[in-house]
Amino acid sequence: MNKGAYLLLITAISALGGLLFGYDTGVINGAQYFLSQYFELDPALKGWVVGSALIGCLVGALIAGVLSIVIGRKSSLIISALLFTLSAWGSGLPDIFPETVTVLVIFRIIGGLGIGIASMNAPMYIAEIAPSHIRGKMVTYYQLAIVIGFFVVFLATYFIGNSLSEAENIEFGWRRMFWSELVPSGLFLVLLFLVPKSPRWLAIKGRDEEALGILTKVHGEEHAQQEIAEIKASLQTKEDKVKVNYFSKAILAIIIIGTALSVLQQFTGINAVLYYGADIFEKALGFGKEDVLAQQILLAFVNLVFTIVAMVTVDKYGRKPLLYIGSVGMIIGFLLLGISLQQEAVGLVSLIGVLVFIGAFALSMGPVVWVILSEMFPNKIRSVAMAIAVAGQWAANYLVSQTFPIVMESETNNTAPWNGSMPYFIFIAFILVIIFITFKFIPETKGKTLEEIEAFWE
């Protein structure tokens, strides 16, 4: 196998962690409409069932840093695959236990642990093994896998939901939706045994010969020798010979910047739209119950198309231009949705607003944040710093998913002048903050090696 095909294979396998990320978080979207009726959930409890997995995501992201240091990126991903499989099986079986909602939440949290571990290790692994000139594209495979996961799960829930009556969906259809995840999770687990360990992790552990062998297979012999020399140099500087002080001004600043960007990805409102898309289409946009799952497929398709656009442009135009363009697009999309809701004129313009927002996010904050996070941290602190940034993202995700249904159904939001539009104007304010943070603090990393990016911070 030539080096290009080999790189593509291991990138695709590791990116399956993103597919499981998208699948596991997306399956609750199709299932929650029916399980909410089965368990007779009020808005707060619905938010807890949907958002409970994010508690696991937060904890998983926090422990992922330690796992990736101690056992490596590859072994961490194997653990995440096992957790995905256990969660998919258990989420459909709550009735065999006495407290059914509690058991469902426990298995959702287990899946969240898998997502948290994978969301930190998969993009970092890809960034550490990919050549600098195509690293953005390679890491974007992770985001592409996430949206493919959403797209596939929306198809799965659509066909499961439409093959059964509403009563059957309420009784057991939502269980089949959860069980459908067993197929991709099992595939991910098996294929992970084909990928090598991260060469940078091996170098950190002093296993230089193994690291060089992997880099040679991926980059070619000449470039591999240069790369291993740069990695060793970055690990052997005077500053790195002493214990890393994560509270030093320089390191803390890098971590704060990365965490802020990671958190703001969630404050765009993307997962409010993805998790509660069925509710938005039914209540805010006036679609009937029979149409909501079909609308989710349209939403996922737009997400997929614009992620592919990001993949082919991120190494050509750079990271920051895509963030600017996407931020403007997200603002336009939510303005269309928000104003149409305020004017009580929901319909085609509202739907276009949602789709414009999704496309703009998929072009920018979706893939580019993962690219930047996987690149920006120095070798010595990458595992811990990225774990903190990703944990911050999951904490923000949980906050949004818990509060969104409460705000949506609040009296203030559903009376004039808001008429259901208030959350979207709040999200617009955060998107304006993204533009400022990007301009002021985010470096352009296009075409630079990880060690060159490290030198930028110095």
**pLDDT of res. 39:** 86
End-to-end Cα distance, the chain:
39
Those residues whose C-beta lies under 8 Å from the C-beta of residue 172, and which sit 6 or more positions away, are none
344 backbone dihedrals φ, ψ, rounded to 5°:
55, 45
Q: Judge whether 225 lies within some domain.
A: no
Kindly give the residue spans of alpha helices, DSSP state H, lying in 364-381.
Answer: 365-376
**Structural domain boundaries, residue 323:** 3-195+237-457
The pLDDT assigned to 238 comes to 43
Residue 222 lies in a domain: no
User: Is 210 a domain residue?
Assistant: no
On whether residue 223 sits in a domain, the answer given is: no
Q: How far is CA 168 from CA 34, 137, 175, in A?
A: 9, 43, 11
Output Rg (C-alpha) for the chain, integer angstroms: 22
Is residue 324 exposed (0-12), middle (13-18) or buried (19+ Cβ within 10 Å)? Answer: middle
Written as tens digits, the pLDDT of the chain (458 aa) is: 678 888 999 999 999 999 998 898 778 877 887 888 888 888 778 778 877 888 899 999 999 989 999 999 999 999 999 999 999 999 888 676 666 788 889 999 999 999 999 999 999 999 989 888 888 999 999 989 988 988 888 888 888 988 888 898 888 899 999 999 999 999 999 999 999 999 989 998 989 999 999 999 888 888 888 888 888 887 775 444 456 777 788 889 999 999 999 999 999 999 788 766 666 666 666 665 556 666 777 888 898 899 999 999 999 999 999 999 999 999 999 999 999 989 988 778 888 898 999 999 999 999 999 999 999 888 888 889 999 999 999 899 888 877 888 898 899 998 989 988 999 999 999 999 999 999 999 988 888 888 788 887 76
Q: Do 412 and 288 touch, CB atoms closer than 8 A? A: no
- What is the pLDDT, as a whole number, of residue 435? 97
Residues 6+ apart with CB under 8 A from 318: 444, 446
How high is the pLDDT of residue 293? 62
318, HSE (Cβ side, Cα atoms, 13 Å):
10
Tokens of 44: 């707060």
Q: Are 259 and 388 in contact (CB under 8 A)?
A: yes
Query: Is residue 266 in a domain?
Result: yes
Task: Extract the tokens encoding 269.
Answer: 């409102």
Looking at the domain assignment, is residue 308 inside a domain?
A: yes
Q: How many distinct structural domains can be found in the chain? A: 1
Residues 6 or more apart whose CB falls under 8 angstroms from that of 232 comprise 203, 208
Q: Is the peptide bond before 367 cis (omega within 30 degrees of 0)?
A: no
Q: Is residue 219 assigned to a domain?
A: no
In a domain, 203, yes or no: no
CATH assignment at residue 300 = 1.20.1250.20
Task: Quote the pLDDT of residue 166.
Answer: 86
